[in-house]
Amino acid sequence: MIPVFEPDIGEEEVAAVADAIRRGEISGSFGESIPRFEEAFAAYCGCKYGIAVSSGSAALHLAVAALDVKPGDEILVSASTNIATALAAYHNNLVAVPVDSEPRTWNLNLDLIENLITSRTRAIIAVHLFGHPVDMDRLSAIAKKHNLIVIEDCAESHGATFRDRKTGSFGEMGCFSFYANKIITTGEGGMIVTNNSKLADKLKLLRNLGFTTPRFRHETAGYNFRMTGYQAAMGLVQCNKIDKVIAEKIRVAKTYDKFLGNVRGLQLPAPSANGRHVYWMYGVVVQPKFGMSRDELQERLREAGIDTRTFFCPMNLQPALQKQTGYRPIECPVAESLWKSGFYLPSSHTLSEKTIRDIAETISAIAKVGKTIVTA
């Protein structure tokens, strides 16, 4: 089976992790690896401060916890995303209000934001879905007009740019995941980047149970969201490879574009109009013209030894969120249709041109047979 993704972890990472463990960097905030990784990754994003945490979900949770908001306030979120984005609001007693998707980029539709704002709306979490950068000029202007704080969910967009600026550097905070399938990985892990020194201090305090002096007396109810030193040591090695990984991701996407361009009824990922899409995963949408449902195509690909994943179930359809007090039922027809008809293909940056061509040819062959059956 060709997997949807295979992590690329080499001997350098193994050696760095082993060295960090030998130095005792196994828990707490000991050693140099965490501050070095924070500094290197924040600088890569064009930000002053990095706060390493235990996951992308923890990064989002902490970013929302650091806001000056009260229970029942609302946060707009991209409808099509991993539930972690909305849970960051939910677990902070705030209501996540989904913003439907845009059919071309699959990112949140900026035209819909102003109609969703109420007197309780405080912030917006915009997801750069699959590595496609959101139009941050427009989003920042809307947020400024309505006094909303912008948090960027960059779990899938390491190194993506909008007008030559990296995602994560536009909002008040940018939240990254270093889960195994992300552009760079620490196994589990995440980071918040920001240019706001007060927020950086607050985030560090919240990450570490609110520890200050005297030790064991706590003014702030924090969390243990710490990353370990040996994860940070791996992150540092991965950080040095990030531009190479992104170049390979773009190569993979362009190769798929070349071989799938002529398949009727398959919507391919749109390139970014004003920035760099990093194609974390290569997503496609199966249109009626394809002659077969998304589920059927996925099943046929699985039989041919090609693993795929569906797009996200949108936040307006999540039973877990619907039970919350203050929940707002919002229709998101585009995100719902993406959930029914979108899926992503194997997207490891190590995929060869031949493998990509084989996958594309399998899809073309399935399309031809499927159409014969439909018309027979």
Ligand X SMILES: Cc1ncc(COP(=O)(O)O)c(C=O)c1O
Q: How many residues bind ligand X (CB under 6 A)?
A: 14
The per-residue DSSP string of 294-352 comes to HHHHHHHHHHTTB--EE-PPPGGG-HHHHTSTT------HHHHHHHHHEEEE---TT--
- Contact between 177 and ligand X per CB under 6 A: yes
**Binding residue (CB under 6 A) for ligand X from 5, 44, 52, 57:** 57
**Binding residue (CB under 6 A) for ligand X from 33, 80, 85, 92:** 85
The count of C-alpha atoms lying within 13 angstroms of the C-alpha of 339, restricted to the half-sphere facing its C-beta, is 18
In terms of CB distance, is 5 or 49 closer to ligand X?
A: 5
In terms of CB distance, is 38 or 367 closer to ligand X?
A: 38
In terms of CB distance, is 131 or 229 closer to ligand X?
A: 131
In terms of CB distance, is 260 or 281 closer to ligand X?
A: 281
In terms of CB distance, is 314 or 370 closer to ligand X?
A: 314
- Contact between 56 and ligand X per CB under 6 A: yes
Buried b (16+ CB within 10 A) or exposed e, 264-285: eebbebeebeebbbbbbbbbbb
Rounded Cα gap, residues 229 and 18, in angstroms? 11
Stretch that binds ligand X, among 25-33, 76-84, 216-224, 267-275 (CB under 6 A): 76-84
Smallest distance from ligand X to CB 18, Å: 24
Helix (H, G, I), strand (E, B) or coil at 123: strand
- Contact between 55 and ligand X per CB under 6 A: yes
Choose among 360, 343, 356: nearest CA to 285: 343
Rounded Cα gap, residues 229 and 25, in angstroms? 5
* Interface mask toward ligand X for 243-262; x: CB under 6 A: --------------------
For tokens 């924070």, the residue is 38
- Contact between 156 and ligand X per CB under 6 A: yes
- Contact between 238 and ligand X per CB under 6 A: no
Stretch that binds ligand X, among 55-63, 138-146, 237-245, 293-301 (CB under 6 A): 55-63
- Contact between 152 and ligand X per CB under 6 A: no
Smallest distance from ligand X to CB 200, Å: 20
- Contact between 105 and ligand X per CB under 6 A: no
Distances in whole angstroms, Cα of residue 230 to Cα of each of 30, 226, 319: 10, 12, 37
8 A C-beta contact, residue 64 and residue 263: no
Please give the distance of CA 263 from its chain centroid, rounded to a whole number: 28
Rounded Cα gap, residues 265 and 291, in angstroms? 8
Binding residues vs ligand X (CB under 6 A): 55-57, 81-82, 84-85, 127, 153, 155-156, 177, 179, 190
